[in-house]
């Protein structure tokens, strides 16, 4: 246990929550949203996201408080409530989402450089993928040597992210024009956007990606000076990040038209600020993003490996992933993670995948862990487990869990059949590691209903593989 003086106060907890949520996604938000929705749908979408994500944040906080023994990650909730295979699938999906996000970060970093060096294009040219690969293995060597993200790096990257964003909001507020903002509120002038419901659906996975990390708030509960501060930090951090995201998105729609924004190269925030103040605006955003992404790549490389390491230690993954090197770094987990990142960088080259297609896939992979976490919270409340003599709290937690569960189901629907099938294709191979872990423990592979679930995953993977081969689906 930490000494009282080492415990985290409310301000530190808020900073940790904000830092875990703000990544590279916000710097591409103007284009990502404008390509899918107009002003009216954007505002409706953010309202749905605010309610749904806040419900999810409270679910993670409630589970952290009521089940403190389940401290090995969000997958532990699926495992405790719905069995070994669901626990494994949640861990597998969470891990894939984490490293897929890293692939997106590499593409975004070199797309940023593409502003100034056209050979990097949108981050998916041969030169960009070659340089991204070199950077990937340089980070790999650093992490293997035991170099973890130091406090000063964390501070530098947080400042690099937040200061340009605040400057953008102030400048864009002065440049905001109501006539541009209200020009075509519902997108009727652009039939390619579809109905308002379609627009709201199409923007949903982008909002998920920019909030990935909201579950991290519960991780800090054991380090808080006051347990009650965790809930406050979750709420303050969430509202702060939500305000930043909405302001960046909405103000951009009052500076450039939807069609102009939709045609920008990412990171589109650089182009919007350049439109207002000239080239130095793009340079400011690009430098801030580059520093932020370099720091994020180092910390997320370690986080991805830690996910596999933690799950291997409790038997969810095979034992070889729990092995550490002499510097106490989970080397095997790191090798597997970075090999997958390298493979997807090459796929990005040949499939010409953009940053947006990668973040959509990363977002769809994290929906399963979110869904099972909300379902487990609802199960606890329905059973009354840990709620003895707390009828009022139980009803409130049941309502919050139901909202979070409905939101998770809505996200699966909003993502569409394409991303459900692609997710199945990525989930299916995980059974190899699951089978090895079960063999090591001398247990049978599946229970009855787990066999049915795996059969459904296998069927979806088969359909996705055929559709990709036939050109019906694409990354």
Which segments of 212-330 does DSSP mark as H helices, in order?
228-252, 258-262, 268-277, 279-313
C-alpha pair distances (Å), 9 with each of 68, 118, 153, 224: 20, 46, 21, 6
Distance CA 113, CA 270 (A): 11
Distance CA 124, CA 110 (A): 8
Q: Which two tokens stand for residue 312?
A: 């291997």
| Residue-range domains of the chain with CATH | 10-470 (1.20.1740.10)
Which segments of 114-146 does DSSP mark as H helices, in order?
126-144
pLDDT at 153: 67
Q: Which residues share a beta bridge with 224?
A: 8
Choose among 59, 22, 264, 27: nearest CA to 154: 22
For 239, residues 6+ apart whose C-beta sits below 8 A from its C-beta are: none
pLDDT at 75: 86
Choose among 13, 474, 34: nearest CA to 224: 13
Q: Phi and psi dihedrals of 319, rounded to 5?
A: -65, -30
pLDDT at 155: 64
Return contacts of 177-180, CB within 8 angstroms, 24+ apart: 177/254, 177/255, 178/254, 180/253, 180/254, 180/255, 180/256, 180/257
Are 380 and 60 in contact by the 8 Å Cβ rule? The answer is no
Distance CA 370, CA 375 (A): 9
pLDDT at 341: 95
Choose among 346, 338, 306: nearest CA to 138: 338
Helix (H, G, I), strand (E, B) or coil at 224: strand
pLDDT tens per residue across all 475 residues of the chain? 344 445 777 887 777 777 767 878 899 999 999 999 999 999 999 999 999 999 998 898 888 888 888 866 678 899 999 999 999 999 999 999 989 988 988 999 999 999 899 999 988 899 999 999 999 999 899 888 876 554 566 667 777 788 899 999 999 999 999 999 999 999 998 888 999 999 999 999 899 888 887 776 555 565 677 767 777 787 888 888 899 999 999 999 999 999 999 999 889 999 999 999 999 999 999 998 888 888 778 777 877 888 899 899 888 999 999 999 988 889 999 999 999 999 999 988 887 667 778 888 888 999 989 999 999 999 999 999 999 989 999 999 999 999 999 999 999 899 888 999 999 999 999 999 999 999 999 999 998 889 999 999 999 999 999 999 998 988 7
pLDDT at 135: 95
């Amino acid at each position: 246990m930490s000494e009282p003086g080492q415990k985290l106060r409310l301000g530190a907890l808020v900073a940790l929550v904000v830092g875990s949520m703000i990544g590279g996604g916000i710097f591409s938000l103007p284009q990502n949203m404008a390509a899918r929705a107009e002003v009216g749908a954007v505002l409706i979408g953010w309202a749905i996201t605010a309610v749904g994500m806040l419900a999810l944040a409270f679910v993670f906080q409630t589970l952290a408080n009521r089940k403190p023994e389940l401290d090995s990650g969000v997958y532990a909730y699926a495992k405790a409530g719905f069995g070994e295979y669901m626990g494994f699938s949640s861990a597998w999906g969470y891990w894939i989402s984490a490293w897929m996000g890293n692939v997106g970060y590499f593409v975004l970093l070199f797309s940023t450089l593409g502003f100034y060096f056209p050979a990097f294009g949108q981050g998916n040219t041969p030169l960009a993928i070659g340089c991204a690969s070199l950077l990937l293995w340089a980070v790999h060597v650093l992490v293997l040597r035991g170099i973890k993200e130091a406090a000063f790096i964390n501070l530098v990257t947080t400042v690099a992210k937040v200061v340009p964003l605040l400057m953008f909001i102030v400048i864009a507020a002065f440049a905001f024009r109501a006539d541009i903002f209200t020009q075509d509120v519902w997108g009727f002038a652009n039939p390619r956007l579809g109905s308002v419901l379609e627009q709201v659906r199409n923007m949903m996975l982008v909002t998920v990606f920019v909030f990935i990390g909201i579950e991290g708030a519960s991780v800090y509960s054991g380090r808080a000076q006051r347990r009650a501060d965790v809930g406050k930090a979750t709420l303050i951090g969430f509202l702060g990040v939500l305000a930043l995201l909405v302001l960046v998105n909405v103000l951009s729609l009052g500076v450039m038209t939807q069609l102009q924004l939709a045609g920008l190269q990412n990171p589109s925030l650089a182009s919007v600020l350049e439109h207002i103040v000239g080239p130095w605006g793009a340079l400011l955003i690009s430098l801030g993003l580059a520093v932020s992404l370099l720091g994020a790549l180092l910390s997320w490389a370690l986080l991805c490996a830690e996910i596999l390491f933690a799950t291997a230690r409790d038997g969810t993954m095979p034992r070889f992933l729990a092995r550490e090197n002499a510097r106490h770094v989970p080397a095997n987990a790191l090798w597997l993670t970075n090999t997958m990142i390298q493979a997807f960088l090459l796929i990005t080259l040949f499939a010409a995948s953009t940053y947006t297609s990668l973040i959509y896939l990363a977002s769809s992979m994290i929906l399963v862990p979110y869904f099972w976490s909300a379902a487990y919270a609802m199960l606890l409340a329905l059973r009354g487990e840990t709620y003895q003599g707390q009828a009022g709290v139980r009803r409130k937690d049941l309502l919050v869990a139901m909202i979070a569960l409905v939101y998770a189901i809505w996200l699966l629907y909003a993502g569409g059949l394409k991303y459900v099938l692609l997710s199945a294709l990525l989930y299916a191979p995980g059974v190899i590691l699951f089978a090895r872990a079960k063999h090591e423990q001398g247990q049978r592979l599946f229970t009855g209903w787990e066999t049915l679930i795996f059969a459904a995953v296998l069927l979806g993977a088969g359909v996705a593989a055929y559709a990709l081969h036939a050109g019906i689906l694409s990354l």
